[in-house]
């Protein structure tokens, strides 16, 4: 009896030491389905590229620092799937309020994320798990022009770290000015 107690106590102490030495991820399997840290970086890169190419989302990224955005997106997604990362950026409300994002732009951004996850072979079920965690954030992200803004734009969007790091501004829409016709 005494030997069993000692074995159980020793096993408990060993388990506690392992837990302290190697913090367990909230969901290691889900994190690995996204490709770990490298996968999160690829997904962030592909989402950013799709967002600059998509006319519905490109204007919202015009003043963003690509370098900072890449780091913040990857760490945010990583934290949401239970990875070892910690998102250290501003709140979703503070970052997005001055941008006046409407439902159509929000939905387009979700499509950009889905494209990036598909491109990186993230299983459909894992994609849905991340999307389910992100979906409630639409309340803090959507803020159409008629809704009051919470934070001035210059406070929410830091200027690019380096002008070379900033994405090019989207091309201007063609002018609808009538051309002159000679009689």
**CATH number of the domain where residue 141 is located:** 1.10.490.10
Q: Which of 66, 94, 81 shows the shortest CA–CA distance to 31?
A: 81
Domain assignment present for 183: no
Residue 92 domain-assigned? yes
21 within a domain of the structure (yes/no): no
Q: Which residue has the higher pLDDT, 155 or 124?
A: 124
The total number of structural domains in the chain stands at 1
Backbone angles phi and psi of 69, in degrees to 5: -60, -40
- 26-85 pLDDT, tens digit per residue, is 578 999 999 999 999 999 999 999 999 999 999 988 888 899 999 999 999 999 999 998
Classify residue 87: in a domain, yes or no.
yes
Instruction: Report DSSP letters for 40-72, one per residue.
Output: HHHHHHHHHHHHHH-TTTHHHHTT-BHHHHHHH
Indicate whether 165 belongs to any domain.
no
* pTM: predicted TM-score of the whole model, two decimal places: 0.65
C-alpha to C-alpha distance for 75 and 82, rounded to whole angstroms: 11
Q: How far is CA 43 from CA 79, 118, 122, 139, in A?
A: 14, 9, 9, 23
pLDDT at residue 45 in the model: 96
Q: Which two tokens stand for residue 159?
A: 């200027």
Q: Name the nearest CA neighbour of 141 among 170, 98, 111.
A: 98
In degrees and rounded to multiples of 5, residue 101 shows phi and psi of -75, 125
Tokens 């939905």 identify what position?
107
Query: What residues make up the domain containing 75?
Result: 27-145
157 within some domain: no
What span, in angstroms and rounded, lies between the C-alpha atoms of 122 and 128?
10
């Amino acid at each position: 009896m005494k030997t069993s107690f000692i074995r159980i106590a020793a096993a408990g102490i060993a388990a506690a030491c392992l837990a302290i030495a190697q913090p367990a991820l909230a969901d290691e399997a889900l994190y690995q389905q996204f490709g770990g840290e490298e996968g999160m970086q690829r997904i962030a890169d592909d989402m950013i590229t799709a967002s600059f190419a998509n006319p519905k989302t490109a204007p919202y990224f015009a003043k963003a620092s690509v370098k900072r955005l890449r780091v913040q997106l990857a760490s945010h997604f990583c934290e949401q799937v239970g990875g070892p990362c910690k998102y250290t950026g501003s709140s979703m409300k503070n970052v997005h309020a001055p941008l006046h994002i409407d439902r159509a732009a929000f939905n387009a951004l979700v499509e950009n994320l889905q494209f990036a996850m598909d491109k990186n072979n993230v299983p459909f079920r894992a994609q849905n798990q991340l999307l389910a965690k992100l979906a409630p954030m639409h309340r803090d992200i959507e803020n159409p022009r008629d809704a009051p803004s919470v934070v001035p734009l210059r406070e929410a969007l830091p200027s690019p770290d380096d002008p070379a790091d900033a994405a090019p501004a989207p091309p201007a829409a063609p002018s609808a000015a009538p051309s002159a016709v000679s009689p």
